[in-house]
Structure 1
Amino acid sequence: MSKRFPGRRLSWLRLGVLITATAAIVAAAGVGWGQFTDARAAAGKASWFAGYVDATATPFYSFENPSSDAERSVILSFIVADPQESCTPSWGGFYGFDEAQATMDLDRRVARLADTGGHIGISFGGLLNKELATGCTDPVALKRAYSQVLERYNVDTIDLDIEGDNLADTAAGERRATVMAQLAAEREAAGQDLDIWLTLPVAPHGLTDEGVRTVEQMLAAKVPLAGVNLMTMDYGQSRQPDQSMLDASIQAARSAHVQLQAAYREAGLESGERTVWSKIGLTPMIGQNDVPGEIFSLEDATGLNAFASEVGIGRMSMWSLNRDATCSANYGDVTKVSDNCSGVEQHESSYAAVLGQNLGGLPRAVSEPGRTASAGAAPESTPAASAAGIVDDPATSPYPIWNSEAAYVADERVVWHRNVYKAKWWTRGDVPDDPTATAEVTPWTLIGPVLPGETPQPVVTAPAGTFPEWKIDTIYLKSDRVQLEGRVFEAKWWTQGDSPEAALQGADSTPWLVLTNEEVAELLSDLQK
């Protein structure tokens, strides 16, 4: 027999209220749990800062010698399709890999930064050239081209800067996404990291339709995107006249966040608020932007860093480290963009320090436990190598071994303790790795380590008759060129009877300048045209 409780009947109204309240509690619990798991997932992703370096801009930026912790991680740009061979990667359309090493010492400088605990990422694309997937329509060749870059520079972080015509090319976007998925899967299978970032233009209203489509292509191809980096710059008419660059950038980030949440949700991926913020990067153009009147100030940088910390963005970058300095008085019109200065008075401040404040210097992939970082990534500890016991071998050194008795002239290179040094000025007897010499007084600049597989660089000589043979009784004027045993020399001033051979031995008083391998090769090339 069932028991009844007199005076406590449950009416339909009360039952409805109870059901509604219960549902609300369950829903609230679900929301709370969702927020908890979202926050926990986002907390597992470290925020990091890396400034872009325009690798081919002259003078070449010394990224291998970071002046602060904020510059220990850099994004070298841009790898693009070679103008003559569309499936061949090149630096800015100017240099192949070997040319970049010969001209810029790029391989050695990359190795130098890695040896000292820094990290290199590489950016593909940009506005002015064809990104590899735009120029190369053969999927097999395209994959090989990307792989060549990864292997050459031992990188585990790539940045796909897709804008302009590259962004409008739908077919290129499909090819790019397919190949990125393949490369990521291969790296995963090999236990190696590969962080893939997609960099896109943005306006205060968010990503363009083409930008959203590019993200969707990547997600549909199952590319494990590390994130989407927003170029918070060059807004033009999309920015309201009374809107600051900081406010426009924050609005752009919030608008893109909504779009990316929808894209991740549509792809069946985690789309919690904090998780999506952790997959967003912000990249302002420091100082004077390409659009007249748009100036991203140091105060804007402070505000953007605070916003990034508040919402938990995954990455902060800037264009570019080359420009992170006050323009000299000789640069007359700071309203015009310079490759080498910001266009604003920075006093003692740097944009890198401000934007990178409280952010780590390395991508998450480098520090994940149980993973194998690539050779381009920073090692767990990087104590300075001791010179004791290091033997320099002429057979495996690209330049002569430093000799305390020899004299060296500006730009001459030597090897000492398995590192390559370049002379700043005439020097004799100054040890290249003297630990007591400051940067101001040492006559040597450390470029980077001797690379595996290197051998002595062959001397480029001119065939007989290319230039007149030097004669002891001939008068030579400034800029006259002669050759002696195949080496080419140029007169620095009027001379007679002074043998060019003294220039080979580094004599500072010689009236002759010995031309470098690169200079001789260029002369011979010009003569053949």
Structure 2
Amino acid sequence: MKIMRRLLVASTVALSTVGLVAPAADAAVDPVLSAPYLYQWESPPNPVSVMQATGVKSFTLAFVLSNGNCNPQWDGQRSLTGADITRVNQIRAAGGDALPSIGGWSGNKLGSTCSSATALAGAYQKVINAGQFKAIDLDIENTDEFQNATVQDRILGAVKIIKQNNPGVRVVITIPTEVSGPETWGQRLIQRSKDLGANVDVWTLMPFDFSSGGDMPGKTKSAVTGLKNKLKSVFGLADDAAWRKSGLSSMNGHTDNAGEVVSVNDYRAIRDWARTVHLARLSFWALNRDCDGCAGVSQGQYEFTKITANYTG
């Protein structure tokens, strides 16, 4: 099976009413629901400016990696409490929120570097504490983590510990997929989460890198429906409950596969379908590519982000 890869290409109020107490800036923001990926290299756009231009309220910040041992850093090289957290605080001050994405395709992975579930949970905890995050995204797509039973179980064991120690923190797991839904390793991960008692809040598929093209809204719907059916079967859920544990993270414009394109109209159709089943998460890779010609398609500035911002579950 071809593992899906992220395309690492960048072409790139305060309340003043007298007598009222300002609520916490991020009190009403769901960091998981509609949060495009924003990576931090190659002059990323200013998220506050993007919020003002699009109405989006949350971002998935990529990526937290191992620095060579069981120690998390942004991109495996920047302090957890440096400029990246300053950016998170700026987002929150503007009325939004963010969640960190741990993993991705490239770089050293914490899941395969940490020696035990306890050690891995400790690494995840450092990330949560650094940003006081209310949710984390575990992007499990590299073969070192995804196609390895021992590492899968280690990750799920760490999730169980994190959920026990942080009852209010939500965990998203993001994985590759086939058109029919999660492939063998994805199905194993879901089943083992039940076996091990790891309470994953949202399962998200990356429905792209299927082929040389075709009906991307149709293929996305097929993949996520397969996910819903797997969750329904494993956890004994009703359809509605299974949909509400499912999510998707698309890829704007040209994907990693030659000829495969998610156009603006495709993504709008995907969003409109997601509304009908009330998916728990809608995202895409990546905001940095969301400009005219940056992802190989003609579009308005931040058009995919605007579509995401209008998703309310």
Q: Give the TM-score category using the shorter length.
A: 0.7 to 0.9
Matches within 5 A, 1:145-294: 145-165=123-143, 166-188=145-167, 193-236=168-211, 243-265=214-236, 271-294=237-260
Query: Which residue of the other structure, out of 65, 72, 88, is the alignment partner of 1:80?
Result: 65
Look at both structures and tell me which one has the larger radius of gyration over its CA atoms. Answer: 1
Structure 2 counterpart SS, 1:282: strand
1:342 aligns with 2:313: no
Aligned partner of residue 251 in structure 1, secondary structure: helix
**Distance (Å, rounded) in 2 between the aligned partners of 1:309 and 1:144:** 36
**Cα deviation, residue 46, structure 1:** 11
Distance 2:114 2:308 in 1: 36
SS in 2 for 1:292: coil
Q: Is the 8 A contact 1:47 1:359 kept in 2?
A: no
Q: Write the letter of the residue equivalent to 2:47.
A: F
1:128-139 paired onto structure 2 within 5 Å: 128-139=106-117
Residues 47-103 of structure 1: CA deviation (Å, up to 9, x unaligned):
921101112x211332243234542201111111113xx2011222232336xx2xx
1:158 and 1:197 in contact (8 A); partners too: yes
What residue is the counterpart of 1:71 in the other structure? Answer: 56
SS in structure 2 of the partner of residue 317 of structure 1:
strand
Report if aligned partners of 1:184, 1:194 keep a CA contact under 8 Å in 2: yes
Give the Cα separation in 1 of the matches to 2:31 and 2:116. Answer: 36
| 1:240-285 C-alpha deviation (Å, 9 max, x unpaired) | x6x31111111111222222211212xxxxx100110011111110
Q: Does 1:354 align with 2:297?
A: no
**Which residue of 1 is the match for residue 269 of structure 2?**
303
1:348 to 1:199, Cα distance in 2 relative to 1, 3 A:
closer
Q: Is the 8 A contact 2:57 2:309 kept in 1?
A: no
Change (3 A) 1:94 1:343: farther
Contact 1:304–1:355 (CA<8 Å) still a contact in 2?
no
Residue type of the alignment partner of 1:90: Q
Instruction: Look up the equivalent residue of 1:78 and give its one-letter code.
Output: F
Alignment RMSD (CA, Å): 2.1
Give me the identity figure in percent.
23
Q: Paired residue for 2:34, among 49, 54, 59?
A: 49
Larger RCO: Structure 1 or Structure 2 (Cα < 8 Å, ≥ 6 residues apart)? 2
**3-state secondary structure, aligned to 1:204:** coil
Amino acid at match of 2:78: Y
* Cα distance in 2, alignment partners of residues 64 and 302 from structure 1: 23
Report the CA distance shift for 1:47/1:148 in structure 2 as closer, same or farther (over 3 A).
closer
Q: How many residues align?
A: 282
After TM superposition, give the deviation of residue 357 of structure 1 in Å.
2.1
Q: 1:62 aligns with which of 38, 43, 46?
A: 46
Q: Secondary structure at the match of 1:59?
A: coil
The unaligned stretches of length 5 or more in structure 2 are 1-29
1:143 aligned onto 2:128: no
Structure 1 residue 349 displacement after superposition: 6.0
**What letter is aligned with 2:42?**
T
CA contact (8 A) 2:176 2:207 kept: yes
Contact residue 122 and residue 158 of structure 1 kept, 8 A: yes
How far apart are 1:141 and its partner, in Å? 2.7
Does the residue aligned with 2:122 lie in a helix, a strand or coil?
Answer: helix
Is residue 2:90 matched to residue 1:112?
Answer: yes
TM-score, reference length from structure 2 = 0.84
Distance in 1 separating the partners of 2:308 and 2:57: 14
Q: Give the TM-score of the pair, scaled to structure 1.
A: 0.51
Q: Say if 1:316 and 1:356, in contact at 8 Å, map to a contact too.
A: no
SS of equivalent residue, structure 2 residue 52: coil
CA deviation vs aligned residue, 1:131-186 (integer Å, no higher than 9, x gap): 21211113443222111111111101101110131101211111111121111111
The 3 A distance-change label for structure 1 pair 171 and 349 is: closer
Question: Which consecutive aligned stretches of 4+ in structure 1 deviate over 6 angstroms post-superposition?
Answer: none
Opposite residue 81 of structure 1, the aligned amino acid is: S
Structure 1 portions without partners, runs of 5+: 1-44, 266-270, 328-340, 361-529
Go from structure 1 to structure 2 and tell me whether the alpha carbon gap of 1:319 and 1:143 turns closer, same or farther (over 3 Å shift). Answer: same
Q: What amino acid does structure 2 have at the position aligned with 1:168?
A: Q
Larger % of helix: which?
A: 2
